[in-house]
């Protein structure tokens, strides 16, 4: 008898930002392994009474693999609940290999990633018409190296929006990379700590030059998203261009173009 494993994105923090599908997976689980250091404990309340619940924060990759595989082989509906989205800055590919080899069915349930929650917390848009139409999810090189061509300085040269993960302890290196990529010292930066977490979310507005000093002065040292891009502050700036989607002179299959008299 073989069960199945669902990799479920818990979202950025707030319990009500998990998707309905993700919540339903938790409610149907026989066994649930969650990342206790990053997943809101309120999410566990949806698990049924018979569900076996374990915290993975002290586990190695091999222990996680064994935990999931053992319960799936016993015919259980197993949920791996992890922060954000399972396919972004997680170890899904590594975790799933033994399951694939054993023929265990696997499903992914996407989740809201912290980049989107951080933009929402700051009231910012990541794209604007004729400003930038590109968003890059990346991080600063630390103990884990970056692939060739993906250094932050190289990506910064595109001039598009950067959502920088896992880099709050590398701020001087981050600022130097932005400068090397052509960003001036006065370019705005938004740092969001624990986006969407009730009573914990903080939004810090600074610039490239003051980034490290301001973050340290604010006492922020973990679980933060760093946003850089030409869209920051667009709400209070003169519009660079109008969206053509809603322009009366721009027609599409749902609305006829309005011709000028």
Give the chain's domains with CATH numbers.
Answer: 4-109 (3.40.1010.10), 114-236 (3.30.950.10)
| Average pLDDT estimate for 102-110 | 97
In the prediction, which pLDDT does 257 show?
A: 72
| Average pLDDT estimate for 28-47 | 95
| Average pLDDT estimate for 83-89 | 96
In the prediction, which pLDDT does 255 show?
A: 65
Percent of the chain exceeding pLDDT 90 equals 85
Q: Tens digits of per-residue pLDDT, 203-261?
A: 999 999 999 999 999 999 999 999 999 999 998 877 777 666 666 666 666 666 777 65
191 confidence band (pLDDT: 50, 70, 90): very high
| Average confidence score pLDDT of the chain | 93
In the prediction, which pLDDT does 131 show?
A: 87
In the prediction, which pLDDT does 1 show?
A: 58
pTM assigned to the model? 0.90
Query: In this model, does residue 93 exceed pLDDT 80?
Result: yes
| Beta pairing class for 224-228 and 161-165 | antiparallel
125 confidence band (pLDDT: 50, 70, 90): very high
Query: In this model, does residue 37 exceed pLDDT 90?
Result: no
In the prediction, which pLDDT does 165 show?
A: 97
């Amino acid at each position: 008898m073989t069960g199945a494993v669902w990799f479920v994105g818990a979202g950025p923090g707030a319990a009500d930002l998990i998707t309905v599908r993700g919540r339903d997976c938790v409610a149907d689980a026989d066994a649930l392994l969650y990342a206790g250091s990053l997943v809101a404990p309120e999410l566990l309340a949806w698990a049924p009474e018979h569900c076996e619940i374990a915290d993975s924060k002290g586990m190695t990759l091999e222990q996680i693999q064994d935990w999931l595989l053992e319960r799936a082989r016993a015919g259980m509906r197993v949920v791996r609940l992890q922060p954000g989205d399972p396919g972004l800055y997680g170890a899904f590919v590594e975790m799933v290999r033994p399951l694939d080899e054993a023929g265990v069915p696997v499903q992914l349930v996407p989740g809201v990633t912290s980049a989107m929650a951080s933009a929402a917390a700051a009231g910012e848009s990541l794209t604007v018409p004729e400003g930038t139409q590109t968003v890059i999810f990346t991080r600063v090189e630390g103990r884990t190296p970056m692939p060739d061509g993906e250094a932050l300085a190289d990506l910064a040269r595109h001039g598009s929006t950067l959502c920088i993960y896992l880099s709050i302890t590398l701020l001087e290196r981050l600022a130097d990379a932005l400068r090397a990529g052509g960003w001036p010292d006065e370019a705005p930066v938004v740092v969001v700590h624990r986006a969407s977490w009730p009573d914990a979310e903080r939004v810090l507005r600074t610039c490239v030059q003051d980034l490290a000093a301001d973050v340290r002065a604010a006492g922020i040292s973990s679980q933060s998203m760093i946003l850089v891009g030409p869209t920051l502050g667009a709400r209070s700036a003169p519009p660079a261009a109008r969206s053509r989607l809603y322009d009366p002179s721009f027609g599409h299959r749902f609305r006829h173009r309005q011709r000028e008299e």
